[in-house]
Structure 1
Amino acid sequence: MCNDYTLKVDIASIVEDFEDLEIKIKMPEGKPNVPARDDIRVTDMGPIVRSVECERGMGELVNRRWSWPGNNGKPVYNFRTEGREFRSHRALILADGFYEFTDPPVPRPKDKRLDKWLFAMKDHDWFCIAGIWRESAAGEAFTMLTMDAGPDVAPYHHRQIIPLTRDQWADWLDPTVPARDVLRWLPQGSLPVTQVYGSPPAQQVLL
Structure 2
Amino acid sequence: MTSEAAQYWENRYRERGRTWSGRVNAALEREVNGVAPGSALDLGCGEGGDALWLAHNGWSVTAVDIAPSAIAIGAAAQQPGDDIEWVVADLAEWQPPRRYDLVTASFLHSYVELPREEILRRAATAVASDGLLLIVGHAGVPHWAAHTPHEGEVVELPSPDEMLEALRLEPAEWTVLTKALVERPVTAPDGSAGTIDDSVLMLRRNPAVS
Under a length normalisation based on structure 1, what TM-score does the superposition of the two structures give? 0.27
The structure with higher relative contact order (CA 8 Å, sep 6+) is 1
Larger Rg: 1
Structure number with higher strand proportion: 1
Q: TM-score, normalised by structure 2?
A: 0.27
Name whichever structure is richer in helix by fraction. Answer: 2
